[in-house]
Chains A and B, each alone.
Chain A
Amino acid sequence: ETGVTQTPRHLVMGMTNKKSLKCEQHLGHNAMYWYKQSAKKPLELMFVYSLEERVENNSVPSRFSPECPNSSHLFLHLHTLQPEDSALYLCASSQEASGGARDTQYFGPGTRLTVL
């Protein structure tokens, strides 16, 4: 195990539902990330938090709303999603988010999301 946990592992939701993904890291890291992974596409960086402050938002639709209450926990709140949002959502953490080698990403197992 990498020290990063995600729940739930699988989620099926309708387009009108509201749900949340949870991530917890037990590594004492200062930065946390949300990625989206779709079939045959590279990992897409969605959000970056450094010391609980959002430092990057890569033009992600507002139907995805992140929350980082402390340096160990990260949430992704979902509402009125579209079928094309179906993907594997990965959480990661790193010691820092400064562009250096301490940015090595430690990933959780992911949440497989299906939007009907």
Chain B
Amino acid sequence: SQKIEQNSEALNIQEGKTATLTCNYTNYSPAYLQWYRQDPGRGPVFLLLIRENEKEKRKERLKVTFDTTLKQSLFHITASQPADSATYLCALFSGGYQKVTFGTGTKLQVIP
């Protein structure tokens, strides 16, 4: 069956360090993958999209990689700040609206 796993429920990191979050999937052939940020009591907010033929995407302090051989995406936040503390969700789009699937998320805590 299709499955998405995000490396851990929670990740604590010191301010200024690089946070790395992992999204692994099985039994998918995603056309592209997205990362969202969700704050408590709020809806997810779209951050980045990466297509299957792209290896890396950057936006300011954010970087996403996509390895379709390993079936894995890594999400990096460089020079992390306490304001980056939130839950980060990965979502796979494998064609057709019914194929949008979200991971359970990783809760990131950046410690001052």
Residues of A at under 8 Å CB distance from B?
Answer: 2, 4, 31, 33, 40-43, 45, 48, 50, 55-56, 58, 90-92, 97-101, 103-110, 112
Contact = CB atoms under 8 A, between A and B. Distances in A.
B44 A48 contact: no
8 contacts: A33-B97, A40-B9, A41-B104, A42-B105, A48-B98, A91-B43, A92-B43, A107-B43
Give the size range of B's interface with the partner: 20 to 34
Interface in B1-44: 4, 9, 31-32, 34, 36, 41-44
B4 A56 contact: no
Nearest to B95: A99
A91 B41 CA distance: 13
A91 B43 CA distance: 8
A100 B49 CA distance: 11
A101 B46 CA distance: 12
Interface of B: 4, 9, 31-32, 34, 36, 41-46, 49, 51, 89, 91, 93-105
Nearest to B98: A56
Given A43-B89, A106-B46, A112 B97 contact: no
Most buried by B among A33, A40, A104: A104
A50 B97 CA distance: 10
